[in-house]
Amino acid sequence: MELRRTFDEDAANYDRYRPGYPPELFEEITRYTALGPESRALEIGIGTGQATSPILKTGCRVTAIELGENLSRFARKNFSGESGLEIITGDFITLPLSHNSYDLIYCATAFHWLPEEVAYPKILSILRPGGAVALFWNHPFPNREGDSTNDINRKVYHKYRPSDEKAREFSDRDCEARIAELQEYGFRDITCNIYRRVRTLTSDDYIGLLNTYSDHRAMDPTAKAAFEREMKDLLDQTGGFIRIYDTIDLYLARRP
């Protein structure tokens, strides 16, 4: 199975444990795009709809594409009765979409699964002239030095998933590559905003969150069970929680 399809295996778990996005992020999107009742937006990868409601609240019509059938079904149930939303099950890359049709195309923590050499030109072709793209990600970091809960996380990962690469927190400098990509493919008026927050999760909730990550779900089942058991036991011995340091990056750009 492709890793990007693992998210569809447990839609309810994904909806429960994946965090949403800061209100300030959506405020910035609406300022940049001036969305309203006459606007049309396209969401790539709706998941269970965590980034959908703030866009619908602007009054615009949203067409959402979702690769997973279970996630699509879950999102349709979440938004039953919402006349301004259409959900299509399919792959953004292969779906036929009308040119010059959308005022906004946005994608929350999913764009990295798409081949950029196909996705960017397609976005440009289906945006209306002057239309905007909004790409954003959440980068959770449970590996800060000096945080005892993060020390436990590193210890368990080192035992079950050793790596020579040191865990590194997302920084402002990491935005430069995405900005350069947007420039390379011909977008203009590019802006980038960074948002930060700290989440405190119980040990149970952390295990639930880990089970929304494709690489964790792909572990050998025996090793995965042992990993989760030891992570929970060690966290429970030192308070029963973990702190996660999130960095959220937002990129906005226009079609010429």
Q: What is the pLDDT of residues 88-117, one digit of tens each?
A: 999 999 999 999 999 999 999 999 999 999
Cβ atoms of 184 and 119 closer than 8 Å: no
Claim: this prediction has a pTM higher than 0.75: yes
Among candidates 214, 170, 147, 199, which has minimal Cα distance to 22? 199
CB 44 within 8 A of CB 92: yes
Residue position matching structure tokens 């969150």: 209
What is the mean predicted confidence (pLDDT) over 167-186? 96
**Residue 231 neighbours by CB under 8 Å, 6+ apart:** 152, 153, 156, 203, 206, 207, 210
The single residue listed with the structure tokens 């030192």 is 238
Residue showing tokens 């959770």: 140
Average pLDDT rounded to a whole number, residues 49-63: 97
- Stretch 181-194: mean pLDDT: 98
What pLDDT does 3 receive?
Answer: 47
Quick check: 1 pLDDT over 50?
no
200 CB-near residues (< 8 Å, 6+ apart): 241, 242, 243, 244
Predicted local distance difference test score (pLDDT) of residue 153: 98
Q: What is the pLDDT of residue 5?
A: 52
**Residue 161 CB: number of other CB atoms within 10 A?**
13
Q: How many C-beta atoms surround the C-beta of residue 9 within 10 A?
A: 16
Class of residue 217 by CB neighbours under 10 A (exposed 0-12, middle 13-18, buried 19+): middle
Residue 44: beta bridge partners? 65, 107
Instruction: Tell me what pLDDT residue 116 has.
Output: 97
The reported pLDDT for the residue numbered 9 is: 64
Question: What token pair was written down for 156?
Answer: 């368990």
As a whole number, the mean pLDDT across the chain is: 94
How far apart CA 55 and CA 100 sit, in angstroms, is: 20
Mean pLDDT value across residues 33-54:
96
What's the rounded Cα separation, in Å, for the pair 40 and 176? 29
**pLDDT at position 224:** 97
In Å, how far are 47, 111, 117 from 208, measured between CA atoms? Answer: 17, 23, 34
SS3 call for 227: helix
For range 68-94, the mean pLDDT = 95
**Segment 159-178 mean pLDDT:** 94
Q: What is the pLDDT of residues 210-250, one digit of tens each?
A: 999 989 999 999 999 999 999 999 999 999 999 999 999 99
Banded pLDDT at 46 (limits 50, 70, 90): very high
